[in-house]
Amino acid sequence: MLVVVIAVAVAVVLVVAWLLSRRRTPDGVDSFRRQIDALSPEARRPTIDKIKPSGDGDDPLDGNQSEGNES
C-alpha cells in the first residue's frame, strides 16, 4: 500500500513539473513584438548616441542627412 502511495506521489510530481516546464515557452507573438520594439529607432538611439556623439547632421534616424538632400 505504501509503495502505491509513493508511486502516485512521484507521478503527480512528474506531471506537475512537466506542465510547468511547458508553460515557460514564450508566446511567438509577444517574442516577435519585443524583437521589433528592440529594433525601433527609439530603442537604438542611445546606442547610436554612444557610438556617434558628434552632431554633424548625418544621423540616419533623424531623417535630415546632410548629403544628397540639397535641392
CB neighbours of residue 17 within 10 Å:
10
Q: Which three cell numbers, joined as nine digits, stand for 58?
A: 548625418
Statement: residue 9 has pLDDT above 90 = yes
The residues, any chain, with a CB within 8 Å of residue 64's CB and separated by 6 or more, are 57
**Structure-model confidence comparison of residues 47 and 5, the more confident one:** 5
pLDDT at 44: 73
43, 37 contact by CB (below 8 A): yes
Over residues 13-67, the pLDDT tens digits come to 999 998 888 766 667 788 888 888 888 777 777 766 777 766 555 555 555 555 5
pLDDT at 62: 58
> Within 1-71, where are the H helices?
2-23, 28-39, 41-51
Statement: residue 3 has pLDDT above 60 = yes
